[in-house]
Amino acid sequence: MNKHKMLTASDIEYLENRFKETFPTKDEFSKFRDSLFNKLDIILKEVFAGREEQTVISA
């Protein structure tokens, strides 16, 4: 069974603090942005996979 990941309060606090910081270079910001979107993509894929499993089981 898939273990669904959720954003925790500490994740949100980290993101808020990180966005308050200035990024010295455009490259550093791009790396952070890419990392963030990769994590969100993984979470979305797991959520949709979980919903597909629920649909199959309920059918």
User: Whole-number mean pLDDT of the chain?
Assistant: 77
Residue 17 inside a domain? The answer is yes
Model confidence over 17-37: pLDDT tens digits? 877 767 678 888 888 889 989
In a domain, 3, yes or no: no
φ, ψ for residue 3 (rounded to 5)? -95, 115
* 38 domain-assigned: yes
In a domain, 4, yes or no: no
Query: Which residue segment(s) compose the domain that 44 sits in?
Result: 9-58
Q: How many domains does the chain divide into? A: 1
pTM score:
0.47
Residue 24 lies in a domain: yes
43 Cβ contact list (under 8 Å, min separation 6): 5, 6, 7
